[in-house]
Chains A and B, each alone.
Chain A
Amino acid sequence: MSDFLKSAADPKQDVAAKKEALMNTIRSEMALAQAQDLLNKTNEKCFAKCIVKPGTSLSSSEETCLARCMDRYMETFDIVSRTYAHRISKESNQMKEGAL
């Protein structure tokens, strides 16, 4: 509240700056949540694929498998992303043409 009283100089600019800051916070929170989701999923999938019989520690072959698996899952995410985006734009173009 005291900030509100201090910025008598240019209140419009202050509000705009606050808006921008809020939007940036929201954007980075969402990006963080998305990254966490991806990491959790990768853990789940790669554990299932690579750790067949849990031992007292991770063997080096298990570690190699996990590293490869992580790369492949991230690649999968990219491929799926691109395919989905491509399909969406194709469908929306078709709809536009149908309307003409």
Chain B
Amino acid sequence: KEILAFVTKEQAQSRLNNQIHTFADICWDKCITGTPGSRFARGEEACLTNCVERFLDTSLFMVKQIQQRQQLQHTSL
């Protein structure tokens, strides 16, 4: 009852966290190319924020592409 709602919420939170882990993994590889210093080199921080934003843009783009292709299939039937 109450527990179920709580667990569902925690699961959603957990999925969000996993996404963040994925982003950190991918964007670290893309942006931090040299040896890590005592702070980020110029542009590394910007690269990280851009990386997350562009990844999300990519997801949205892919969804739109698939929708377009589905529409084309329907009209050609």
Chain A residues within CB distance 8 Å of chain B: 19, 22-23, 26-27, 30, 34, 37-38, 41, 45-46, 49-50, 65, 68-69, 71-73, 75-77, 79-81, 83-84, 87
Are the C-beta atoms of B35 and A45 separated by less than 8 Å?
no
Instruction: Please judge, given known A-B contacts A26-B6, A37-B21, A87-B53, whether A79 and B45 are in contact too, CB under 8 Å.
Output: yes
Q: Is the CB of A72 within 8 A of B7?
A: no
Residues of chain A within 8 A of B20, CB atoms compared = 77, 80-81, 84
Interface of A is mostly: helix
On B, residues with C-beta under 8 Å from A are: 2-3, 6-7, 10, 13-14, 16-17, 19-21, 23-25, 27-28, 32, 35-40, 45, 48-49, 51-53, 56
Count A/B pairs, Cβ under 8 Å. 76
| In the bound complex, CA of A68 to CA of B19 (Å) | 24
